[in-house]
Amino acid sequence: MHLKRRQFLATTAAATAGLAAPVTLRAQAREYVIGASLPLTGPFATAGQMVAPALRMFEALVNEDGGIGGVPIRITAEDSGYIPANALANYQRALATEPDMVMYFGDSTGFMKLVAPELRGANARLMGSTSFASELADPAGNPYQYLPGPSYEDQFDILLQQVKDEGGSTVAFIFSNTEFGRDPIAHGRAKAEELGLQVVLEESTREQGADIPTHVTRLAQSGAEYCILQGYVTGVWPQLIGGARQFGLPTRFMGTFWGMENAIADRVTAEAGPILDGYAGVMPYRYFYDPERGPAYERFAAFQKTAFVGTPLENYLPTWGIQALFSLTIGVEALRRVADKGLELTADNAAEALSDLRDWDTGGFFGVPVSMVNNKIGTGRVYRYSAETQLFGPSSDWFTV
């Protein structure tokens, strides 16, 4: 999955060769550093290993565009194993060794919560992540952390509204026993009541190795017309759907962002048949194959065909990579706005620029201009999987919570 060193060095050299001597905002900075923690091992290693090359692509393309204020960037990433304490140690090490680090990309909700008390004074950095945790959308409590899309609570709002619009009346929530999984459950219960929907089951499972027959039996006993799955990435959610289909359940399944990877759905279809046909969920962004993809996606595709030859990423960009790319794009956009004003790239200046993002054309990530409100972008749409085409296609318009 990793970009070959020779290819990357060649690409980076070509991208930076044309840069004139930069006028830096801090005289000592020859480059600005973006640190990152990724789960390259552990339960979500598949996602981390597919995101890592996207970070290198982002570095090359940003430098091709002149970096930040004429200063090139460098991305440095370390493995966390999806352990928050490891990611925190990575962040602290980056602070100690990278004096020109202006931004950080975290790997989990757990890390973002653990690091929050440390984002003070000289240790504060603008920080995006893989997380859509609802509590991070809090400019007062977490001024430097932001979400690259709608929170998990927002995503439940979107899905429950879809259930209502389709005439549903009963819904089940099945979620992993992690912070990630539990995040929107209480909110979803309240939203369902507001919409006149009945939550007939709330079932917690292990994030890996869940007891599928037991959970499917409970789902069958609940009689739920719809089931929203939350807190899974590569495993469990397809197994739950497969178990329900074997049981003969007519339940309609839905998921949030991390259950919307097309490659996973295709693999399941190849191995188990069309069990995911009709599965729907929230995707904040366009898929890479969207025929209306914008200029950002076109650049990614051109880069991939050159830099990732012979790998799965040559012609494919996973949703996880898109999420990371957009999270970094937000941060760099804010930092560039600070640089354009001739200000120092402090966390406070970056946070202020972040809060001013309004009606922003993202270059194709979203189908509409978006705004940063309460440190999140509450825009998305529902996609539905077709086993025949093996693609997720839009089943709603773009809208903002």
Q: What is the mean pLDDT of the chain?
A: 92
* 257 shares a domain with 135: no
In a domain, 376, yes or no: no
Q: Note whether 308 and 201 are same-domain residues.
A: no
Question: Would you state the structure tokens that stand for residue 213, as one six-digit string?
Answer: 């027959």
365 and 273 within one domain: no
pLDDT score recorded for residue 229: 98
User: What is the extent of the structural domain holding 49?
Assistant: 5-150+292-370
Average pLDDT over residues 295-316: 95
Do 322 and 276 share a structural domain?
A: no
Q: What's residue 28's pLDDT?
A: 52
Cα 367 from Cα 199, distance rounded (Å): 32
| 158 and 144 both lie in a single domain | no
Q: Is residue 298 part of a domain?
A: yes
Q: Please give the residue that has the higher pLDDT: either 204 or 18.
A: 204
Q: What is the CATH number of the domain that holds 341?
A: 3.40.50.2300
Tokens of 87: 């990611």
Q: CA-based Rg of the chain, rounded to a whole angstrom?
A: 21
- The whole-number pLDDT of residue 12 equals 40
pLDDT digits (tens, 9 = 90+) for 9-25: 344 443 333 333 333 33
β partners of residue 73: 32
* Per-residue exposure over 203-227, b if at least 16 CB sit within 10 Å of its own CB, e if not: bbbebeebebeebbeebbebebbbb
Q: Do 144 and 44 share a structural domain?
A: yes
3-state helix, strand, coil in the chain (%, to 5): 45, 20, 40
pLDDT (tens digit, 9 = 90+) per residue, 261-289?
999 999 999 999 999 999 999 999 999 99
Give the separation between CA 239 and CA 19, rounded to whole angstroms.
50
Same domain flag for 161 and 111: no
Which pLDDT belongs to residue 207? 87
CB 177 within 8 A of CB 207: yes
- Cα–Cα distance, 292 to 336 (Å, whole number): 27
Same domain, 270 and 333: no
* Sequential DSSP letters for 50-115: HHHHHHHHHHHHHHHTTTBTTB-EEEEEEE-TT-HHHHHHHHHHHHHH-TTEEEEEES-HHHHHHH
Percent of the chain with pLDDT over 70: 93
Q: How far apart are CA 301 and CA 226, in angstroms?
A: 36
pLDDT at site 10 = 41
User: Can you give the pLDDT at residue 235?
Assistant: 83
3-state secondary structure of 175: strand
Q: Does residue 91 fall inside a structural domain?
A: yes
CA dist., res. 380 & res. 283, Å (int): 6
276 lies in the same domain as 309: no
- Long-range pairs for 6-9: beta carbons < 8 A, 24 or more residues apart: 7/306, 7/307, 7/309, 8/56, 8/60, 8/307
Count of the separate structural domains present in the chain: 2
Confidence band of 172 (pLDDT split at 50, 70, 90): very high
Closest CA to 87 of 42, 122, 38: 38
Which whole number is the average pLDDT over 168-187?
A: 95
In a domain, 375, yes or no: no
Question: What is the mean predicted confidence (pLDDT) over 314-325?
Answer: 95
Q: Name residue 242's beta-bridge partners.
A: none
Q: Is the pLDDT of residue 223 over 70?
A: yes
Which residue from 92, 254, 267, 68 is spatially nearest to 160, judged by alpha carbons?
254
Same domain, 10 and 135: yes
| Residue 304 domain-assigned (yes or no) | yes
Contact in structure between 176 and 399 (CB atoms under 8 Å): no
Residue pair 346/248 in contact (Cβ under 8 Å)? The answer is: no
Question: Please, which residues bridge with residue 26 across strands?
Answer: none
- Tell me whether residue 210 is in a domain: yes
Shared domain check, 122 and 50: yes
User: 3-class DSSP state for residue 349?
Assistant: helix
Residue 350 located in a structural domain? yes
User: Mind listing the pLDDT tens digit for each residue in 347-377?
Assistant: 999 999 999 999 999 999 999 999 999 999 9
pLDDT the model gives residue 27: 54
